[in-house]
Structure 1
Amino acid sequence: MDLAVDESAGTAPAVVCLPMFSTSRAATASAFSPALAGAGRREVYLDLPGHGDSPATCRPASQAVLETVCAWLDRHVDAPVLLAGASYGAYLAAGIARQRPDLVSGLLLVCPGVTIAPTSRTLPALDPPEAPAGWLDAAPAGLRSHLDVALGHRTPAVVATVLAALESGGPGDETFQNDLRASPEYALPDEDDDIVFDGPVSVITGRQDGVVGYADQFHAMRRYPRGTFTVIDAAGHYLPFEQPALLRSLTQDWLRRAVGAPSR
């Protein structure tokens, strides 16, 4: 299938960016485009099946989603590419590097999921950071508990930026997303495999990320012998919108390492 895509002109290798669960390529671009600015790379932003403007033409299973993305990459880009993702998009990016390393020359994993089941994650046992009174007032009631857990930089301005990103892009297929999240196949079958990926990797996590944490990601660094790991204070699961300047600095460092690396 053809996935909905936005892309910019630029040089190879392309940077292909995968979105957080239930978000669109527009949200992904708002997260990653400022961090990639000035690098001159071709930037590619995809809507996953059943997300944004991409139809749900595969079964609701993460392996099927991954294979759909790989099929798109096989048809539309010159491999290998630089693969970036946030949250579920980073989970898929790591899976692609395990299963199709021929497609990937480097990985940028921001707040990546390591295990898909929430009960299996190591989450920080911290008191929430201080926040001004009414910092969540602009958020819909149904999102407030999530943002309270997810955000480490807790200000009305950050909330407004996150909400704008979440509301951007196509509507997606809510039934497909719900079925995918509820499926026993939400986890990739090789989620626990310690397959080594030897390209340049940067793993960036938030110290106050109450959704996926940061400890599991550090333990997974054994899979990345050329990996850099960073945990950022005053950042949670929406790190690109909470600490954009730090994300840009770390992304530019990853690009220098990745573009200068030998082709895999």
Structure 2
Amino acid sequence: MIAAEHGSGVPLIAVHGFGVDHRILLPLEDWVADRPWRRIYLDLPWAEGATDQGVSTPREVADAVRDEVETIAAGGPFAIVGNSFGAMVARHVAHALRPQCRGLATLAGVFELDHDKRRLPPREIVMANESVLSRAGSFRDDFAEMAVLQTAEALTAFERFVLPGIRGADTEVLDRITSSYSAGYAPERTDLPFTAPSLHVFGRQDHVVGFEDGLGTAGHYVRGTFVVVDGAGHNVHLEHPDAVAPLVRDWLLRAEHHAL
């Protein structure tokens, strides 16, 4: 499950979203490499090269990651960040291993797994650019499906961090999990308020998961920073790295000072 590892110190676990792989979170390296954290990037079961263990529900995925984090942390502290579907996983792990968790972050996180119940903004392209779309070539549709900013920078980030995971994904595993996609964890509905430092970043134009469902959990995360970034969609950390990077660094600083 561990796909990449960098640095030393307290484990910082990174969990990617649905249909992509760990590379979508590698921009973190440019933001936090100078901090005292051992960055560990996980690949979920559909990622290229991952071993299919037969998991068939989001709960099974989340439980497997919880077990992996228990092994990695070995009873010690850790922090965890999740993107999109990975945010559901990260929130479950952070709550299940609450005594060890120094911090939780979500980027464009799924807070409502049932697609029909999500409160979503209408699809909107804030910055359209036909020449950028033309440059995308064979992956034009993949880029255009998510892009709120059709800029050269966003295209480059998509090609580097997102596209490899899309192309390498095991569709059989994805289809199996999709059939029960809404059967995941929502710890905010059942657990006590989360008291470790947290960060929750959303794109205002995110038509995939939205932002309202996530903002509705603000009362649960009593040390949480909640930010909605305008001009950003589901790949908010790729479209606006200059906005998201300082937020992640601030969260990590708070997590470093959090006493367990």
CA-CA distance at 1:227 after TM superposition: 0.4
Contact 2:44 2:61 in 1 (8 A): yes
Q: 2:96 aligns with which of 96, 99, 121?
A: 99
Cα deviation, 1:122-159, whole Å, max 9, x if unaligned, reads: 11236431322333224467762x64453332213312
Report the TM-score, using the length of structure 2 for normalisation: 0.89
Contact 2:202 2:229 in 1 (8 A): yes
Cα deviation, 1:206-236, whole Å, max 9, x if unaligned, reads: 1111111111111111220110101111211
Q: Is residue 121 of structure 1 aligned with residue 118 of structure 2?
A: yes
Taking the aligned partners of 2:140 and 2:118, their CA distance within structure 1 comes to 21
1:200 aligned partner = 197
1:188 aligned partner = 184
One-letter code aligned to 1:208: Q
Moved more, 35-44 or 163-172: 163-172
Q: Is residue 77 of structure 1 aligned with residue 73 of structure 2?
A: yes
1:214 aligned partner = 211
2:3 aligned partner = 5
2:157 aligned partner = 161
1:175 aligned partner = 172
Q: 2:29 aligns with which of 21, 28, 33?
A: 33
Contact 1:86 1:109 in 2 (8 A): yes
Q: Is residue 50 of structure 1 aligned with residue 46 of structure 2?
A: yes
Contact 1:54 1:172 in 2 (8 A): no
SS at match of 2:4: strand
Contact 2:62 2:93 in 1 (8 A): yes
Taking the aligned partners of 1:190 and 1:140, their CA distance within structure 2 comes to 39
Contact 1:138 1:160 in 2 (8 A): no
Contact 1:4 1:53 in 2 (8 A): no
The verdict on how the C-alpha distance between 1:171 and 1:43 changes in structure 2, with shifts beyond 3 A counting, is same
The verdict on how the C-alpha distance between 1:191 and 1:137 changes in structure 2, with shifts beyond 3 A counting, is farther
Q: Is residue 250 of structure 1 aligned with residue 247 of structure 2?
A: yes
SS at match of 1:202: strand
Q: 2:63 aligns with which of 63, 67, 79?
A: 67
Taking the aligned partners of 1:102 and 1:188, their CA distance within structure 2 comes to 22
One-letter code aligned to 2:111: V
Gaps of 5+ in 2: none
Report the TM-score, using the length of structure 1 for normalisation: 0.88
Taking the aligned partners of 1:37 and 1:132, their CA distance within structure 2 comes to 33
Contact 2:65 2:89 in 1 (8 A): no
Contact 2:4 2:40 in 1 (8 A): yes
Cα deviation, 1:163-217, whole Å, max 9, x if unaligned, reads: 322233692422011110122x542154662522111001011111111111111
Gaps of 5+ in 1: none
The verdict on how the C-alpha distance between 1:25 and 1:59 changes in structure 2, with shifts beyond 3 A counting, is same
Taking the aligned partners of 2:55 and 2:108, their CA distance within structure 1 comes to 26
One-letter code aligned to 1:62: P
Contact 1:152 1:206 in 2 (8 A): no
- Sequence identity (%): 23
The verdict on how the C-alpha distance between 1:179 and 1:208 changes in structure 2, with shifts beyond 3 A counting, is same
Mapping of 1:136-151 within 5 angstroms?
Answer: 136-139=133-136, 144=141, 147-148=143-144, 150-151=146-147
One-letter code aligned to 2:151: T
SS at match of 2:49: coil
